[in-house]
Amino acid sequence: MEFSHYYWAICGNCDGEGKTGHEAFANGITASEWNEWDLEDRQNYMDGRFDVTCSVCKGRGSVKLPDVSRMNFAEKRKLVELRRDARIENELRREQAYERSMGA
């Protein structure tokens, strides 16, 4: 939902860089994997060439956030509803992921 009052803030996912590390390297790489790479691959890794566009800010480096201090009561109520729904949805996703990891 679009609110009438908002402000721009640095993206917390990419720290304003607009890109993040590729998920394939989320846990880093092992020494044996590093040794298998040639010099060019190592340099590309260190230079961030395997990075991907941030999924939160879409590469902008900043995100639009609602300015609660300037909202009217109806907008604040809607924001509370949206945040509650998002929290419930996230809890459901975490529970489903846990169940899948346990073989359900």
pLDDT tens digits along 52-86: 999 999 999 999 999 999 999 999 999 999 999 99
**Closest C-alpha to 12, from 68, 66, 54, 67:** 54
pLDDT tier, 27 (very low <50, low <70, confident <90, very high otherwise): confident
Residue with tokens 């346990």: 102
Among residues 61, 48, 56, the alpha carbon closest in space to that of 22 is found at 48
3-state secondary structure of 64: strand
Higher pLDDT, 26 or 41: 41
Q: How far apart are CA 67 and CA 87, in angstroms?
A: 20
Q: Yes or no: say if 57 and 13 are a contact pair by the CB < 8 Å rule.
A: yes
